Chain A
């Protein structure tokens, strides 16, 4: 067997493709102002949130779906989607014991224990199932340190001033088509607030699960780090296998004040569609952006993107504070019929701001993988620096990789470094590993992991192992 026979396609089933049978409360398909009012009502939201939604909706009606990403998909019928789906429950949860055992089992199966003191002992988890949060662990312990970690719906109720001040301040509803849609219909998401001079004592993590058919998930996450505070946050995602595509249009906003440090990691493993036909799978159209408002603040994005039928996302940093730092570390793996158009934007505004971009795109099968990045250094950003490295790896003859690095520098005192390489996994490399006794699958995983090592080392240790395992699963039977 050899790399010449690449055509052989992985038969490995998606591990997380099961559906939980649970009574679900749905709002009828379709989108109009009444639906938005109903969502708002279900969440018992204050008036300002409803206004936020309606304003966004009215704006969205005037917008066009973007066509510039290098991805192909049939037109989405926005009236054919449920905008709210929630497992039925009696009343507000008082403790973890009230969580529906069926839901507990679901998350257990996904490797996410909803009991504190379990496997991920130093990680607090917010588990979101379709449109609602089912449980948040370690909430009380965190609160002792002044750290708020709760579903956004709860934050709206308990911390309306913070939400009012920051929600939409980084990604305004006018930003883009999907951000506007999200602002209109968002349901759940996580809220994190780390007060002044506080190092968040544990890893925070949100786990997103889409379960209901024909629903979209539109979560919204807001993380605020006050002066001298720091936090590391991770999101994970899975969904059942359905023949129809599902839309996931999330918004994530990060705000870092003076000296604050936010590390945001993603391990994305949404259902990618049928490996043979490409049918089904998640459309992952998300807007993620961080604002380094304060001096010497830092925002770092690390993403491992392995799932979804289509990925369209550009986690970005707006470097406003002087000496602030933005980082983007990305591994995007596409296989079979997957398509990804992903990258970052680094907008330098403050003086001596620094950004680093390391992107590793891996394409296999018939997939399409595009890196798209913008580095913009404004006139005000004197003495700023950027380093960009975007590498692509091709596995087999039928995949494609593209890179579009846009650079826009408006002052003379800034410096830029750029490196790019496209490598092919060669027969020689595979044979070399095999000649040392290593199997074909392990050889490929080893080579790909090596290619991604600069990014993996940025992941919190708890998740680095998971990420490597995920990649090896995704690559199984890709060659040979």
Chain B
């Protein structure tokens, strides 16, 4: 269970989130849609503990544990994963080593043994196959010189390797070609079948053809203005945000 309880947040002293509450159960896919600047990415930022967000109010709980006071790395190790809207690059840092470091950080957090490079290599290769990604991807610096789509796929690779409880995808579909979109959707559906909690931020109905959401929330000016099932996304596609609000 993942609960967001009356979350309010400001950036640069401007209130962006004005009280958001959501409840996500294992195996559920929730889609968040909404106009540009309505606060979708800010919600993701609050959840992961981005330093831009000043003193957020409310509660964010995994099961019964409030993670809002934890450090970003602790939240990650508690099982929150965000595929970023704009993944940053880290020049000179080998992608495979970065992944292994992340994997081992989680192992350590949970008191488990670290994995050696050899076993890890096997683990990653399997995931690469799922995403039909080439191995040379691993030897490149993290996101450095990656195309837009490659960056997004790299996020999904990390997602598969780190195997979190709560998956948040911030516009991962934007900039992906049709084949990539299908692969990403397959990965997400796999997570759904594993009883994970999935929060999709997207602008397009297209993604929702591959990943069928249990709920669709419309966000407007820092609030959830409407909640419905998958048909809400279809109506939205037809009428636009203005049509739907009236």
Residue B102 at the A interface, CB < 8 A? Answer: yes
Looking at the assembled complex, report how far the CB atom of B86 sits from the nearest CB atom of chain A, in whole angstroms: 8
Q: A434-B71, A434-B76, A437-B105 are in contact. Are A453 and B92 (CB under 8 A)?
A: yes
Distance between A325 CB and nearest chain B CB, rounded to angstroms: 24
Contact A427 B52 (CB under 8 A): yes
- As a 0/1 sequence over residues 50 to 92 of chain A, the CB contacts with chain B under 8 angstroms (1 = contact) are 0000000000000000000000000000000000000000000
A4 at interface, CB cutoff 8 A: yes
Chain A residues closer than 8 Å to B76, beta-carbon distance: 434-437
Q: How far is the CA of A2 from the CA of B11 in the complex (A)?
A: 14
**Contact status A438-B105, CB under 8 Å:** yes
B37 to chain A, nearest CB (A): 19
Chain B hits for A404, CB < 8 A: none
Whole-angstrom distance between the Cβ of A414 and the nearest chain B Cβ = 30
Residues of B within 8 A of A436 (CB): 76, 98, 102, 105, 158, 162
Max chain B Cβ within 10 angstroms of own Cβ: one of A432, A435, A443, A447? A435
Mark interface residues in A291-308 (1 if CB within 8 Å of B CB, else 0). Answer: 000000000000000000
Decide yes or no whether A446 CB sits under 8 A from chain B.
yes
Q: Which residues of chain B have C-beta atoms less than 8 A from A438's C-beta?
A: 73, 101-102, 105
Report the minimal beta-carbon distance from A209 to chain B, rounded to whole angstroms. Answer: 32
The residue in B76, B77, B91, B98 that gathers the most chain A C-beta atoms within 10 A of its C-beta is B91
B51 proximal to A (CB < 8 A): yes
Interface size on A, residues (CB 8 A): 28
Interface 1/0 per residue, B47-70 and A, CB below 8 Å:
011111000000000000000000
A429 at the interface (CB under 8 A from B): yes
Question: Contact at A1–B87, with CB atoms within 8 Å?
Answer: no
Q: Are B105 and A442 in contact (CB under 8 A)?
A: yes
Residues A435 and B109 in contact in the complex (CB < 8 Å), given A2-B51, A450-B93: no
User: A472 to nearest B CB, angstroms?
Assistant: 12
Give, as a whole number of angstroms, the nearest-CB distance from A429 to chain B: 5
Answer yes or no: B90 CB below 8 A from chain A CBs.
yes
A20 within 8 A of B: no
Is B149 an interface position by the 8 A CB rule?
A: no
Q: Mark A421-448, 1 if CB is under 8 A from B, else 0.
A: 0000011110111111111101100110
Known interface pairs A429-B88, A451-B91. Does A437 touch B109 (Cβ–Cβ under 8 Å)? yes
- B84 is an interface residue with CB less than 8 A from chain A: yes
Minimum C-beta distance from A438 to chain B (A): 5
- Is A402 an interface position by the 8 A CB rule? no
12 A-B interface contacts by CB (under 8 A): A1-B51, A2-B51, A426-B88, A429-B90, A433-B98, A435-B81, A439-B73, A439-B105, A446-B93, A449-B93, A450-B90, A454-B92
Sorted nearest first, the 6 A-B pairs with minimum C-beta distance are A450-B92, A2-B51, A450-B93, A453-B92, A436-B102, A434-B72
Q: Which residues does A use to contact B, with CB under 8 Å? A: 1-4, 426-429, 431-440, 442-443, 446-447, 449-454
**8 additional contacts (CB under 8 A) given A436-B98, A447-B90:** A1-B51, A431-B50, A434-B76, A435-B76, A436-B102, A437-B73, A438-B101, A446-B90
